[in-house]
Amino acid sequence: MTSIQDFVTQGGQSVTAGEVGAFRNHLAAYKLKAEMLVSAGQVRLSEQSAFLLRYIEDVLDGVYVPGDFSALPDAVFAMRYLAKGVDIIPDSVPEIGYKDDAEVVHAVLLAHEKEYRSFSSCQKIGFDAFEA
């Protein structure tokens, strides 16, 4: 594992069931953050975040039953990381502020690629979140 993968794995493991449940109450704010990424020039990150948010919402609403139960807390961790304005590289740093956020989101997508592809197929989402 690379260090970013270790970071994501540890982060996902630190997310409690209560935190996953509480995430649902703040879903609208996370969706707004994902949409705002477009105006920050982060279109791909916005698309990937929207995909993960849809996954989280559908799992929490019982619309989709996951086959990989660690994919949900990892996705929640990634979205919470993205929502923080000050992280490894503060989002306000021009041109590179979202680099760490993008790496965290991408690492989650890759770690659970089979699960997210299955979700995408079942939900007939014509989006390939795994492209670079």
Q: What is the pLDDT of residue 2?
A: 67
DSSP annotation of 2: -
Structural domain boundaries, residue 57: 3-122
Q: What is the pLDDT of residue 90?
A: 80
Which pLDDT tens digits describe the chain residue by residue (132 residues)?
569 999 999 999 999 999 999 999 999 999 999 999 998 899 999 999 999 999 999 999 999 999 999 999 999 999 999 998 778 888 777 788 889 999 999 999 999 999 999 999 999 987 676 665
Q: What is the pLDDT of residue 54?
A: 96
Whether 129 is in a domain gets the answer no
Give 22-44 pLDDT, tens digit per residue.
Answer: 999 999 999 999 999 998 899 99
pTM to 2 decimal places: 0.91
The number of folded domains in the chain is 1
How far apart are alpha carbons 95 and 105 in whole angstroms?
18
Q: What is the pLDDT of residue 27?
A: 95
Whether 127 is in a domain gets the answer no
Q: What is the pLDDT of residue 93?
A: 76
Whether 130 is in a domain gets the answer no
- How many Å is the Cα radius of gyration of the chain? 14
CA 131 to chain centroid: 15
Classify 87 in phi/psi space as left (phi over 0), alpha (psi -120 to 50) or beta. beta
